[in-house]
């Protein structure tokens, strides 16, 4: 997956089931892809310093994209929690890029696994929701 992610805010239409499910799937795919990148980084599969920096930069861009999908104007607890978790993961990758500190990556992997599981539940609920008609 290349980093050609488009702005998905327009996909979140309250009464449009297909668009909502599609947006959720896109967010989930970015999280899963980023999770794979971080596992690669954590496994020290990449030996070349330049490649580590390149991978970290790609992961950082993914996290910025994820943070930007959050509607902070609503100030919900879920938005605050996801913002915090995405930024924690972002911090973890910056530590690897700047200081070669891999200590936070296992926690980051766990967070992304749990967020993915949560998005699976949201996808299922949106797909079954009677509010969509």
Q: What is the CA radius of gyration of the chain?
A: 16
Mean pLDDT of the chain: 81
Q: Which tokens hold the place of 18?
A: 């297909």
Phi, psi of 75 (to 5 degrees): 55, 40
Phi, psi of 124 (to 5 degrees): -60, -45
Q: What global pTM score does this model have? A: 0.77
Residue 119 pLDDT level (bands cut at 50, 70, 90):
confident
How many whole angstroms separate alpha carbon 67 and alpha carbon 74?
Answer: 14
Can you tell me the mean pLDDT for 56-78?
88
Residue 15 pLDDT level (bands cut at 50, 70, 90):
low
Give 74 or 2, the one with higher predicted confidence. 74
- CATH no. of 15-128: 1.20.120.340
pLDDT tens-digit series, residues 19-53? 777 777 888 889 999 988 888 887 766 677 788 89
Domain ranges of the chain: 15-128
Give 95 or 2, the one with higher predicted confidence. 95
């Amino acid at each position: 997956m290349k980093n050609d992610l488009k702005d998905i805010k327009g996909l979140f239409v309250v009464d449009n089931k297909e668009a909502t499910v599609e947006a959720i799937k896109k967010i989930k795919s970015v999280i899963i892809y980023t999770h794979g990148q971080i596992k690669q980084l954590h496994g020290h599969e990449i030996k070349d310093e330049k490649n580590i920096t390149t991978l970290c930069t790609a992961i950082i861009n993914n996290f910025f994209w994820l943070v930007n999908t959050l509607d902070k104007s609503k100030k919900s607890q879920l938005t605050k929690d996801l913002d915090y978790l995405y930024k924690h993961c972002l911090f973890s990758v910056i530590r690897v890029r700047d200081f070669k500190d891999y200590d936070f990556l296992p926690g980051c992997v766990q967070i992304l696994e749990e967020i993915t599981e949560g998005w699976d539940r949201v996808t299922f609920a949106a797909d079954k929701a009677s509010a969509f008609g």
